[in-house]
Structure 1
């Protein structure tokens, strides 16, 4: 096994540290992106449900006869 100089050993250690940090950062960013996509999909699903419900409520209100507007007889 060949011996490396002290400066080369230090350089390799620094490179390994930098590489490890980069891989960790990439993993975290990937997880965050995955969470963001899941949140966006859920938000879109909920919005679509809300809009569908509101459309049904508007259709029901338009189809229902207007309520009688009789005044109470004060006695």
Structure 2
């Protein structure tokens, strides 16, 4: 009878093992996707910050240039 129980349990163990492997694979894929997404968001935020900084510098330079008195040209 012990042999019969063992053979009856084998398909269940096999199915559980397959399900567990699929679950672990799915978790790994989701973790990788999340890591890629977080890296993309961090890069986008860094590039946005650099762009805003550059635009602010350009606006400040334009304002400084506009604030300078104009020179009279020689005739």
Show CA shifts across 1:6-58 (max 9, x none).
3x111111000000000000000000111111101100000000000000010
Pairwise CA RMSD: 1.7
- Structure 1 outlier segments of 4+, above 2 Å: none
Give the Cα–Cα distance (whole angstroms) in 2 for the partners of residues 33 and 65 of structure 1: 48
1:51 equivalent to 2:39? Answer: no
**Which residues of structure 1 form unaligned runs of 5+?**
69-75
TM-score between both structures, scaled by the size of structure 2: 0.79
TM-score between both structures, scaled by the size of structure 1: 0.79
Choose 57-66 or 11-20, whichever is displaced more. Answer: 57-66
Aligned residue runs from structure 1 range 9-28, under 5 A: 9-28=10-29
